[in-house]
Structure 1
Amino acid sequence: MLRRLWQKPLWRSDKCYRRFIWTLRRQTPYYPYGTLIRSLIFGKQPSRRHTRYMPHFSSEDLSILSNYCNDIKELAFEFTRKDVFLQRDSIKTFLKKCTNLTRLEFTIGESLVDSSWMQGMLQPVREGKLSNLRYLAFYSILFNEPMYSSIITDLAQGCPKIISFETQWKIQADTLKMIMNSFPNLQSISCGILERGGLEILVNKGGRLRKLELGHVHDEITQDMAGRFPILKELTIHKAPKEFAMFAENWTIQQTMMTFIDLDCRNFKLDELCTIMRNCTKLESITLRGCNGLKAGMLASVAMECSDRLKYLTIFNYFYLSDNELVELSDRCRNLKRFAVWGTAKFTQEGYRYLVKNSVNLVTFCGNFKELTTRHILSSIIERGQSNIQVFKTGSRFRLYGRGKLHEVVYVPEPSMVNDDHKLTASILVDFARAAPCLRKLRLDYFLKDLDGKDVVSAIHQLKNLEKLAFSPSFSISQENLSDLDSHPRLKKNLPTRYLVSAPGKVILFGEHAVVYGTPAIAGSVNLRTYLFTEKREDGILEAYVPDIGLDQPVKWNTELFPYSKVVNDKKEEFNEELAESLRSLAEIESDKPAIVRQQQSAACLALLYLFTLLSNRFPETKRGLTIHVRSALPVGAGLGSSASYSVCLTTGLLLNFEYISLTSGSQGAELINKYSFLAEKIIHGNPSGIDNAVATFGGAVLYKKGSMEPLKGLRPFRFLLTNTKVARDTKTQVANVRIKFDKYPGIIKSILDAIQNISDHFKTVLINEDNNITQDTMLEDLIDLNHYLVNSLGVGHSTLDRVREITAQFGLHSKLTGAGGGGCALTFIRDGVPRATIEAVKKSLSLQGFECFETLVGGHGAGALNTNDTMTAQEFMEVGLEWYDGIDSWRYFA
């Protein structure tokens, strides 16, 4: 055990890391810990294999590691922090001594690292010190920067034996060609997006490739590639080109070594899929995604073609599966070890019962089954007796929970599926425990509301080998019941104590101000986001640090002084004016900032205090305390929904910490986030429409009307130029001014609001009719002009917004104000075909006026979160560049 622990040391904090260095320094000949270490991971690597805490290490630390760790096989560094940037020479010295290194992984932040820095650090590579290197993982915000050419050249000169290259970003054809030329022995390539021309290079240069993983392929596959394609053992394509299905028949004739395939099937026909299965004679692991276009009989055909060689099968969204196909699968595929299916409709419990009874080698069983079906499946396992099942996961569709520690309970307090007619019972769980003694992972994503907590815990204790558990318990399962699980020999309750939360900003395309009066507005999310870090604490202190609004130092409150008696538990989702007023004095911030800044600070603090007091009484017996730090790429007061993005982040973090939702709550969690974030928006803005928090929660583009929201389908990713005039304005004031005019001239203002609604309706109609891009672009430009004129007539314009329109019009572009007006941001549409030179000229002209410009797309993800227990501290959250967060691939989005 000691040897295994020291092979891959794991530190969860600076204190833990310092103890690791202290122990290493004091090793003796009898305890040579350094000789046991094979892997050192410094940082939060984007690859799924590493989510480690990044310590603050010094030159002295690296010197100690160099002296004592003489057999490092795996090394990963993250160059996104200043303290790491300053250690270049120490890292270089360390690399010189890692002569046995076989895997090297980099994560690079462009704001710190340049070509000369990397070349200096990689000097040992050029000198041939790392000649045994086999695996290279390379992550960066922009992979195709010129400096990476010199880096790869250095690695190629000193590491001729590299056989694996991995990156999560897109690879241009020229870059791929350079990689293939530099590493002629390459056997494995993994990348997020392969751009046009890349496949031809793989065909011509990839003769030694055995593993290929591609997220998206933006390329055309031609039939002449089939005979020249590398002979692979593993293939993963998450989004295949349309031509791939037709190409497959000739391609698979020579794929006699293929054992694993993970394929997007949206463009496949059944006979084309069967051809792949038939020709790949060694295929034993199959994952099929997007199968909703395949007709009935697919599973039976797979079973017939693969027979006993099929061991692992995962299927997503195949709506035609039937019990007969399950019978065919279990009869023909007797060596099946894993069966996982999500998004199917026609299975009944009888088909599953047959599969469980006859698949004697089944080790993993996963799917989104109804509670009655799950009950029958468990009963079948019980009837058969002594099952080999080690992993059983069922419930609504969920994302598999991380790749972190095994010894943990994932507590999912919000039900994702309720079925009052057919419920699991404690006795079934006890019998299942006896029939499945090897079970290591169990997930029952149902609302077990009629089970007694003691009975459930007793059943879980019967599963002696259980390492991971997730379930949606009833309110009769108390914290005391859950604490009883701590005596389980392998299972420990380990809820996340740190979360990283993110939410996007928004732009209103059409319908500003009119939406407040009940007419629809169209808005979309932008790829500028707010990020929030939250960590539980046990001292009863609530700490908030929001430097973007001038809170340069953390603000702290004693939570025991909060007016919890004002909370009405059965009316939490309704705005509580009495509670807000009782907290207002606590939210006042004393500073020498301008009045408008102090107002923003107090509003942000009051929103936090209100939600914290409202939500934190879920477990009244525990001492409440949180650390909350917030950063944002959104300018404040610019009409881009910065307050809503903040409110959504705040709400999400609090709901997670107080266990109203979990990372797997999905759309139900999103609904709850949207409801409570609207309360925060009411505190900040007084009478918000609700559109901003809806977009920040759900993402994408929506047609919003107060009280309802409709996702917009058919909206292609329109490009826009956002221009921040840097003229601060207050949404609450602008909304109030329009209300004054409405009360004074109701007939006139209502006519203007009706005209604004007609613009939104017309835009939606064009999308539904799926007009071609040229028609859409022309129409959008007209509607942008009309929308601006109408909203401007409400008295919410500004001279800087007019100036933006004048400048962009000189280049043939159309602009409008967005949001409340009175300053803030302008939105300029960039139609297809506008030259890059024109865009740069526009940006330059606007910059000369003192404005700030950035390009964006409308659409994208809404609120997301991830568990950062072992990967981040509050200090690191404030130090890492914001662009780094966009590259994380483990975000869990709620919608």
Structure 2
Amino acid sequence: MERLTAAQKVLLTPDVLYGISSYFDRQDDLLKCVFVHPIWAIVFIRQLWKAPIWKTKESVNLFLRTLRKVKSCFLYGHMVHRVVFKIYRPYDTTSAFTANDLRVISRKCPNLRHLTFATTAPPFSNTNVELLLNSSPNLITFTVLDCDSQWLEGALTPLRQGRCPKLQHLEINDCNRSWSFNVIRDIGENCPSIISLKLYQRVNNLQLANMIVNSFPNLQTFECKYINEAGLQGLITGLHNLKSLSAQFENDIQVSENLAPKFAKLEALRIRAIHVQDHNPLFSVAFSQHQPCLRQLYLATLHITDKTIKMIAMNCHHLESIELFMCFYLTDSAISTIAQYRGKKLKHLMLAYNAYITDTGINQIATHCTELRSVVIISCAKLTNIAFNNIARECKSLVEVTVRHDSCQMLASIVHTLATRNRGTLKVLKAYDVSTKEMDKRSKYKADVSVLERLAIRCPQIRTLVLKCCIQEKNPSQLVKAIHKFKNLEELQISTSVKFSSSHIRQLEKHRRLKYVTIIYGPLLNARSRIQESRLESTVGMNITLLTPMVYNVNG
């Protein structure tokens, strides 16, 4: 028998392998590790089955067949901790599961910790979900994204009866918002460990707010659809452990400086509001002074002014994520203050739909916030390629870049800069061209195969690539070869002037990682364009969608 080296012995140590397995986040990689060695199989099978993902009916059937086996090498069902029931492919209209399958899961998987239902359509009836919950005493999180009152009152009976005492997170997205809050009250009283509550509901009176406070005294995260003055007063004065608050503020909320000290010490705040004027500046000063722990801020308020943003940037010393959505009237003054006071501590910045921010403000971000990991800039009309290129050039460790602008040349220049300056950390690149103009052939920067190849070499970790600026390449074979050079690519959306033949599609299917592909043949020609869509059934499980802009006659 061949003797093992010291290094080989280390790699056969279960404790070391458990540590290594935690770094794998792709199911297919875990599967390959199972076949390396019997000891690897023991370790990696546990990791593989902890949160199985079934993106095809074939994978669902294989999972269920394994569960049903009377004699098997492992108790596979006992390894399952997380299950997400959703349809991954848009053209699949029905679930691959049956009511009998859910009964098998409830019987074979007693250690479920996390359950998510993206739909309540058959077979996910309230009776079947109730059965799953009854057999999941160790459940920690429960999420349902689409339901009605009848479903909730039936399916959540085990939670109301305290059958899941370890539950910490409850999320209910009920689009009708018609169910009784008695359900929530009962769950809170019988699941005392809940610290996170997300409801697609309106908290519009003090009685309702007090019920939430009394039923969930340990809440650290709370999110609701809308909240008014009475609801806000009740929540912030009662939830002393609150760390994250997210809601749309209704117009009756009058924020005065006396309200600011009543807030708990938050780490994350998300506010959506439409007010005639900015909040009381005195409130902004007082609030920022009482929030030393704030790390994440999201504001979607039409009339917020520079002063509010300045106060928060200056006083919230741990702020590392700022998202400003539809804050139309913010200027370079606010952005420059963010840059100067947050500096290298700023990790994420999102600016969307602003009419006044110029290159001056963004250049300050590029100069001072060089440790940015994620930047999202959407439809800020006065920005030019200078600002975008400075961000890409100076912030060399960007992991995610999302840009939407009406200049194809600008987007091409950003891709060029990332292909030469990024440190290889980039994982997500999304560039959207919203103009109807074709790229100027005299432009210095072009989105072609050569720049894609350089980007693939410079940024080998890219998983999501969206280039909705027309790729200037007449040879589809060369384009497919360039795509294959993105070794870790999982999702691709591109706009190109050349059409892919069936042979090109087959070549694309050979990519070992790629799962979702959308190909747009040419730009949207004008406002009268419409999309002709076709989907190809891939033999390897890849989701391929082909979109063709079509011009139609509005009088026809």
TM bracket (short chain): 0.7 to 0.9
1:57 corresponds to which of 98, 112, 127: 98
Deviation string, structure 1 residues 600-639 (Cα, Å, up to 9, x no partner)? xxxxxxxxxxx9xx979x99xx99xxxxxxxxxxxxxxxx
Task: Please give the secondary structure, in 1, of the residue aligned with 2:354.
Answer: coil
Identity rate, percent? 23
Counterpart position of 1:448: 471
Deviation at residue 234 of structure 1 after TM alignment: 0.7
Kindly report which structure 2 residues correspond to 1:452-471, keeping only aligned pairs within 5 A, or say none.
Answer: 452-471=475-494
2:270 corresponds to which of 229, 236, 239: 236
1:42–1:55 Cα contact (<8 Å) kept: no
- 1:395 maps onto 2:439 in alignment: no
- 1:151 maps onto 2:191 in alignment: no
Counterpart position of 1:420: 440
**Structure whose residues are more often helix by fraction:** 1
Deviation string, structure 1 residues 832-888 (Cα, Å, up to 9, x no partner)? xxxxxxxxxxxxxxxxxxxxxxxxxxxxxxxxxxxxxxxxxxxxxxxxxxxxxxxxx
Deviation string, structure 1 residues 229-270 (Cα, Å, up to 9, x no partner)? 121111111325445353222111111111111112422221
2:547 corresponds to which of 659, 665, 682: 659
Counterpart position of 1:810: none
1:42–1:53 Cα contact (<8 Å) kept: no
Task: Please give the secondary structure, in 2, of the residue aligned with 1:334.
Answer: coil
Task: Please give the secondary structure, in 1, of the residue aligned with 2:162.
Answer: coil
Counterpart position of 2:346: 310
- Cα distance in 2 for partners of 1:72, 1:384 equals 45
Task: Please give the secondary structure, in 2, of the residue aligned with 1:313.
Answer: strand
- 1:372 maps onto 2:409 in alignment: yes
Counterpart position of 1:187: 220
Deviation at residue 81 of structure 1 after TM alignment: 4.7
Counterpart position of 1:41: 84
TM-score (norm 2): 0.77
The one-letter code sitting in structure 2 at the alignment partner of 1:152 is I
Question: Quick one: structure 1 residues 470 and 69, their matched pair in 2 at CA, closer, same or farther if it must change by over 3 Å?
Answer: same
Deviation at residue 434 of structure 1 after TM alignment: 2.3
1:197–1:219 Cα contact (<8 Å) kept: no
- Cα distance in 2 for partners of 1:79, 1:420 equals 46
Question: Quick one: structure 1 residues 35 and 347, their matched pair in 2 at CA, closer, same or farther if it must change by over 3 Å?
Answer: same
Deviation at residue 228 of structure 1 after TM alignment: 0.6
- Cα distance in 2 for partners of 1:70, 1:7 equals 12
- 1:219 maps onto 2:239 in alignment: no
Larger relative contact order (Cα-Cα within 8 Å, sequence gap ≥ 6)? 1
Deviation at residue 52 of structure 1 after TM alignment: 11
Kindly report which structure 2 residues correspond to 1:168-183, keeping only aligned pairs within 5 A, or say none.
Answer: 168-173=200-205, 174-183=207-216
- Cα distance in 1 for partners of 2:97, 2:65 equals 14
1:23 corresponds to which of 66, 71, 75: 66
- Cα distance in 2 for partners of 1:150, 1:273 equals 39
Task: Please give the secondary structure, in 2, of the residue aligned with 1:471.
Answer: strand
2:398–2:422 Cα contact (<8 Å) kept: no
Question: Quick one: structure 1 residues 297 and 196, their matched pair in 2 at CA, closer, same or farther if it must change by over 3 Å?
Answer: closer
Deviation at residue 460 of structure 1 after TM alignment: 1.9
Deviation at residue 6 of structure 1 after TM alignment: 2.4
Counterpart position of 2:237: 204
1:194–1:218 Cα contact (<8 Å) kept: no
Counterpart position of 1:284: 320
1:161 corresponds to which of 193, 196, 201: 193
Deviation string, structure 1 residues 515-542 (Cα, Å, up to 9, x no partner)? xxxxxxxxxxxxxxxxxxxxxxxxxxxx
Kindly report which structure 2 residues correspond to 1:749-828, keeping only aligned pairs within 5 A, or say none.
Answer: none
1:485–1:493 Cα contact (<8 Å) kept: no
Structure 1 residue ranges without an equivalent (≥5): 46-50, 398-414, 497-572, 574-610, 624-655, 662-668, 680-895
Question: Quick one: structure 1 residues 44 and 153, their matched pair in 2 at CA, closer, same or farther if it must change by over 3 Å?
Answer: farther
2:288 corresponds to which of 252, 273, 279: 252
Task: Please give the secondary structure, in 2, of the residue aligned with 1:184.
Answer: coil
Kindly report which structure 2 residues correspond to 1:469-508, keeping only aligned pairs within 5 A, or say none.
Answer: 469-492=492-515, 494=517
1:215–1:237 Cα contact (<8 Å) kept: yes
Counterpart position of 1:436: 459
- 1:129 maps onto 2:127 in alignment: no
Kindly report which structure 2 residues correspond to 1:638-677, keeping only aligned pairs within 5 A, or say none.
Answer: 659-661=547-549, 675=552
Question: Quick one: structure 1 residues 615 and 80, their matched pair in 2 at CA, closer, same or farther if it must change by over 3 Å?
Answer: closer
2:491–2:517 Cα contact (<8 Å) kept: no
Give 1 or 2 for the bigger CA radius of gyration.
Answer: 1
Deviation string, structure 1 residues 9-32 (Cα, Å, up to 9, x no partner)? 344576754543332121545221
2:372 corresponds to which of 336, 342, 351: 336
The one-letter code sitting in structure 2 at the alignment partner of 1:420 is D
Deviation string, structure 1 residues 564-596 (Cα, Å, up to 9, x no partner)? xxxxxxxxx9xxxxxxxxxxxxxxxxxxxxxxx
1:263–1:287 Cα contact (<8 Å) kept: yes
Kindly report which structure 2 residues correspond to 1:619-638, keeping only aligned pairs within 5 A, or say none.
Answer: none
TM-score (norm 1): 0.50
Question: Quick one: structure 1 residues 158 and 9, their matched pair in 2 at CA, closer, same or farther if it must change by over 3 Å?
Answer: same
1:226–1:250 Cα contact (<8 Å) kept: yes
- Cα distance in 2 for partners of 1:615, 1:331 equals 44
Structure 2 residue ranges without an equivalent (≥5): 1-29, 31-44, 520-527, 538-543
Runs of 4+ in 1 over 6 A off after TM superposition: none
Question: Quick one: structure 1 residues 52 and 201, their matched pair in 2 at CA, closer, same or farther if it must change by over 3 Å?
Answer: farther
- Cα distance in 2 for partners of 1:361, 1:284 equals 15
The one-letter code sitting in structure 1 at the alignment partner of 2:426 is I
Task: Please give the secondary structure, in 2, of the residue aligned with 1:659.
Answer: strand
Deviation at residue 487 of structure 1 after TM alignment: 2.1
- Cα distance in 2 for partners of 1:387, 1:150 equals 52
Question: Quick one: structure 1 residues 18 and 677, their matched pair in 2 at CA, closer, same or farther if it must change by over 3 Å?
Answer: farther
The one-letter code sitting in structure 2 at the alignment partner of 1:233 is E
Task: Please give the secondary structure, in 2, of the residue aligned with 1:368.
Answer: strand
The one-letter code sitting in structure 2 at the alignment partner of 1:72 is L
Question: Quick one: structure 1 residues 53 and 27, their matched pair in 2 at CA, closer, same or farther if it must change by over 3 Å?
Answer: farther
- Cα distance in 1 for partners of 2:86, 2:416 equals 46
How many pairs were matched up? 488
Deviation at residue 62 of structure 1 after TM alignment: 4.5
- Cα distance in 2 for partners of 1:244, 1:373 equals 36
The one-letter code sitting in structure 2 at the alignment partner of 1:418 is E
Deviation at residue 114 of structure 1 after TM alignment: 8.0
Counterpart position of 1:728: none
Question: Quick one: structure 1 residues 176 and 450, their matched pair in 2 at CA, closer, same or farther if it must change by over 3 Å?
Answer: same
2:229–2:254 Cα contact (<8 Å) kept: no
- Cα distance in 2 for partners of 1:41, 1:320 equals 43
- 1:101 maps onto 2:148 in alignment: no
Question: Quick one: structure 1 residues 311 and 29, their matched pair in 2 at CA, closer, same or farther if it must change by over 3 Å?
Answer: same
2:431–2:467 Cα contact (<8 Å) kept: yes
Question: Quick one: structure 1 residues 477 and 211, their matched pair in 2 at CA, closer, same or farther if it must change by over 3 Å?
Answer: same
CA RMSD of aligned residues (A): 3.6
Deviation at residue 276 of structure 1 after TM alignment: 1.0
2:266–2:294 Cα contact (<8 Å) kept: yes
Task: Please give the secondary structure, in 2, of the residue aligned with 1:335.
Answer: coil
2:78–2:108 Cα contact (<8 Å) kept: yes
Task: Please give the secondary structure, in 2, of the residue aligned with 1:292.
Answer: coil
Question: Quick one: structure 1 residues 449 and 477, their matched pair in 2 at CA, closer, same or farther if it must change by over 3 Å?
Answer: farther
Question: Quick one: structure 1 residues 440 and 182, their matched pair in 2 at CA, closer, same or farther if it must change by over 3 Å?
Answer: same
Kindly report which structure 2 residues correspond to 1:729-740, keeping only aligned pairs within 5 A, or say none.
Answer: none
Deviation at residue 466 of structure 1 after TM alignment: 2.1
Deviation at residue 328 of structure 1 after TM alignment: 1.9
2:418–2:455 Cα contact (<8 Å) kept: yes
Task: Please give the secondary structure, in 1, of the residue aligned with 2:304.
Answer: coil
Question: Quick one: structure 1 residues 77 and 386, their matched pair in 2 at CA, closer, same or farther if it must change by over 3 Å?
Answer: closer
